[in-house]
Chains A and B, each alone.
Chain A
Amino acid sequence: MRISSGSVFDTNVSMLNHQQASLLHTNQQVASGRRMLTPADDPAASASALLVAQADGTNSQLEVNRNAVKSSTGMAESVLQSVSSLITEAKTMAVQAGNGILSGSDRKSIASTLQGRLDELIALANSTDGTGNYLFSGFQGKTIPFLKTALGVQYMADDGQRMVQVGSSRKMAASDSGSDVFMRVKNGNGAFVTEGNSANTGAASIGQGTVTNSNLLTGSTYKLNFNSPFSYTLTETKSTGEVLPPVPQEPEPPFQYASGEAITLPGMHISIMGAPERGDTFTVTPSTNEGLFKTLADLIVALNTTNPAGDAATSSQLTSSLSKAMSGLDRGLDNVLTARASLGARLNELDSLQATGEDLGLQYKQTLSTLQDLDYNKAISDLNRQTTSLTAAQKSFKQVAELSMFNYM
């Protein structure tokens, strides 16, 4: 076959160009450490790399979010820890105040200590985080949640829970509203409240009572009217406001009273101790949300009230109030402990999410590395192969180009 002398050069130059181009590509790969210099080198991998990089970035952001929740949750937890010990102390003082040998002035001094505790509780409930946001004010971070008013401590904020994205499909509450922690505390035993009339003249006091069957609870208010120290009638007021006639009705004899004996009402047992007088009344009302502040404030008022029976005796009024306060504090402590348990569970979950997140981050980085990074062994071997073949091509080109008939003429 005829070969054009020009073609020999053209073909060789074009082949050398090709070889140099691929050598340069490998060289750039080695220099940058990247397998894909442009998306054209591996379009599918470069698109996945973008998505994996986003997943990795999102994962890192979630860690930032988790740390934010951890910090606010940790602060709330330490505040609630102080609140629980404060309640425990208040309970101890309430027990102490029930001691019959204490004088009125002793009780007043306990009351003044408790007043200090109440102020401390308000301050704790109004705690702020590092940036001046109230911890327990729902969505209204800059609104002071608990305010002392003439009507007692009022909650000024809302029920909002601040949610934060802590996992790709997990939003977690970074806060608890103050209303849930401090205000939604049922008074009495949680189902109903027993109370003696403040005008009672007898020495009988009513216990907190127990729920025997919560399904039978009616939501009605019951009133026990002692028509003699030994018997009483019962009036039921329904939640709708309808007042039923007293039972038992004449000519049935009224219920007989025995001190300490269980009185059965629908779904509950109550008991009255001591000697009532004619005309004394006791009420059983469904529990309402009272709030820790009111419980403490009521206790302080009760301790400051002068005992009509004189310093020596413990009045039935005081006994009832103390028992009510104790039970209120118990329920308040329960509530705070529940909140703390939930905070603890969240902190635990954050830890496990953190571990998962770190694993995931590692995996994303590995995937990214597989997609993007260069296999140096292969690249170096390619580089050597390409260098060898380029050198060979150059040598052979030189030899071929030197061949000419004119050398022999």
Chain B
Amino acid sequence: MGVSGVMGISVSALNAAQVGLQTTGHNIANANTPGYSRQEVQMDTRKPQYSGSGFLGQGVEVSTVKRAYSEFLNGQVLSEQSQAAMLNTYHTQIKEIDNVIADSNSGVSPAIQGFFSAVNNVSTSPESQPARQAMLNSGNALAARFQSLNQRFIDVNNSVGNQISNSVTQINSYAKQIALLNQNIVQQTAVSNQPPNDLLDQRDQLVAKLNTQLKATVVRQGDGAYNVFVGSGQSLVVGSDSFSLALAQSPSEPSKQDVVYNNKNGTQSVIQQSSLQGGNLGGFLTFRDTTLASSQNSLGRVAMGISGVLNQQHQLGQDLNDNLGENLFVPTVPAVYSNTTNNGSGVVAASIDSAEDFAALTGSDYKLRFDGGTSYTLIRQSDHKETNFASGLPNTPVDGLRFTSTEGAQAGDTYLIRPTVNGARDFTLNIRDPAKIAAALPIRANAEFSNQGSAKIASGSVNTPPTNPDPMHPGTDVNLKNPVAISFTSATTFDVFDMKAGVKIATAVPYADGRDISFNGWTTQISGVPAEGDIFSVGENLNATADGRNSLIIAGLQTKDTLGAANGGTATMSFQGAYAQWVSEIGNKTRELQVTSTAQTSMAEQSVATQQSFAGVNLDEEAANLMRYQRAYQAAGKAMQISNTLFDTVLQLGR
């Protein structure tokens, strides 16, 4: 064989060098293609031929073109990038809120300050119509500020909803493409028994994109197909079949859209939203269900605190028309939603009744579950603390909330209670007429001119809650405005007469300097030295245009601790304090996400760099390869030329 053998070997070398050059060219061409893995030509020696003088080499053959792919490195990139995408999305979203409250001049706090300054001005000149009108105007300004901030939350919520929907559409499209590629890959592998490198790269790239939307688990099948699972094990791709996610109204809250899973039979299954982690979708869901919801609750709590606490105090006062005060703000009612999957017809309502109750509000949401019989369980969503009511809903408030229910609930029925979610949205002034601002108190106290002693009586305050509430005006006592005479029967004792009812309501009460004297829902103090026969009177405070006692108390509520009481405890923060706490929470969370998302992004970049250092194209290396295969090609050509010359030599022998 001899000469022709040299020719055959040269041809094989020429072919191998050509494949090498082609692959190098392919690598150079795809140096910037995302997801491309560098390809290498795998060369082997051909089977040698036995001859008497031993095994003679038969040249080279290309056994396969292999892509540089490491399942381990790729897996790491997927999980790091998925986490980074989630944190980045979360950070981008929370920054929206952080930016809204960034400017201390446009937040709620200057509006709160402005309102209470106006209340102060009413307390210094209660009869002044301009001061009263200014108080209503700044109340409206405060309402507008609360509402616009709340509207911002709603806008953010809507935009997050759109992005969730986009994200779901993309996930579904990726799932379809992966299923299609699965089919191609399985077919082509079966036909050629060679790896379809570029298809594999494309599929891996799709899986990576899917992971930036939602964390997905990939299980590689024996035939080369990928099965992809999301959430708590929902299969998104099985072989060449794909399934899809969709959005549907949440059963617990009608205004919310949950991500659900479309079953093969056309029904939808609920997915635990918190199991959808990672990727943009995970970021959006976490932001919407934790930060956004709790922000709306926290702001709502400040708004409800102001309206609730001020309403309570305003009702104890008296307006310019000598009527008892109405609600200063429209009271906000806690939102309660029956779960749409409830079997029973029972309805639950929640209310917040007193200043103490407003103080005890937490800003958390609650889930109430009917356990059958008379048993209910209340689950606080912020810390999942469960409270069981074995014998029906309690009369005493829990975290400031009082519950009532109607008949017809069935065991397992649940209700979602969002006490403060609408606080900022519904913050509105109830009073439009400046004269209706209850700046005065409904009672005043006088000492008779005929008194011999030097004792003085304080002008009095109104008790809350009243022991004997007026059905027309539950904040105050039914006998509050009755004229009452305190008559000293000696220097150390006094009798008390209700002049309207014409009855003695207390006899021989011992006198102590400055001690509280409480009757008919008011409290006053007498101090100094009374004499026998001295008379003090307490009664209606008519025409009291210059009395600003109630507005003085209301103005004082600005800096008083009125919120943040643990159940039944004492209040720990002012309105502004509660607002500042929320600002600091958002600030802290934003900062935390800023740090973690930066860290996670750089970790993802690191793992990409590591993966790329293995799978990426290095142009210098390819340049070297070009030269290498060029040389090989040239050498093979030379060998062929020599073999050709040899042929010529042999042919000339025959001439």
Contact = CB atoms under 8 A, between A and B. Distances in A.
Nearest to A409: B623
B470 interface: no
A5 B616 contact: yes
Nearest to A39: B587
Given A143-B543, A175-B546, A165 B120 contact: yes
A329 B105 CA distance: 59
B619 A64 contact: no
Interface stretch (A42-50, A119-127, A203-211, A333-341): A42-50
B459 A140 contact: no
Interface stretch (A51-59, A270-278, A392-400): A51-59
Contact of A69 (B124, B449, B588): B124
Given A61-B116, A168-B559, A405-B620, A39 B583 contact: yes
A131 interface: yes
Given A14-B605, A164-B552, A159 B109 contact: no
Contact of A406 (B104, B447, B588, B619): B619
Interface stretch (B56-64, B331-339, B574-582): B574-582
Given A2-B616, A40-B590, A159-B447, 20 more contacts: A2-B621, A5-B31, A7-B613, A40-B588, A46-B584, A50-B104, A53-B104, A54-B109, A54-B112, A54-B574, A54-B576, A64-B121, A131-B127, A137-B546, A141-B127, A159-B459, A174-B124, A239-B532, A286-B452, A409-B626
A393 B127 CA distance: 69
A39 B449 contact: no
A289 to B, nearest CB: 5
Interface string A174-203: 110001000110000000000000000000
Given A37-B102, A184-B449, A47 B545 contact: no
Interface string B28-50: 00011000001000000000000
A161 interface: yes
A163 B113 contact: no
A99 interface: no
Interface stretch (B212-220, B391-399, B438-446, B479-487): B438-446
B492 interface: no
A406 B623 contact: yes
A141 B542 CA distance: 11
A50 B619 contact: no
Given A44-B584, A159-B446, A39 B590 contact: yes
Shortest 9 CB-CB contacts between residues of A and residues of B? A4-B616, A141-B546, A39-B587, A43-B587, A47-B584, A40-B590, A405-B623, A139-B547, A139-B544
A68 B584 contact: no
A53 B587 contact: no
A21 B450 CA distance: 81
Given A140-B545, A160-B547, A162-B548, A6 B31 contact: yes
Nearest to A4: B616
A163 B617 CA distance: 83
5 contacts: A11-B609, A40-B590, A164-B123, A164-B124, A288-B449
A160 B547 CA distance: 8
Interface of A: 1-7, 10-11, 14, 36-44, 46-51, 53-54, 57-58, 61, 64-65, 68-69, 131, 133-134, 137-143, 155, 158-165, 168, 171, 174-175, 179, 183-184, 219, 239, 286-289, 291, 372, 404-406, 409
B615 A219 contact: no
A289 B542 CA distance: 25
A162 B617 CA distance: 86
B364 interface: no
Contact of A46 (B541, B555, B583, B612): B583
Given A47-B583, A51-B580, A4 B618 contact: yes
Contacts of A53: 104, 109-110, 113
Contacts of B626: 409
A311 to B, nearest CB: 38
A302 B32 CA distance: 119
Given A165-B555, A168-B559, A38 B616 contact: no
A142 B435 CA distance: 14
A289 B450 contact: yes
A131 B128 contact: yes
B584 A51 contact: no
B546 A162 contact: yes
A150 to B, nearest CB: 18
Interface in B511-544: 531-533, 541-544
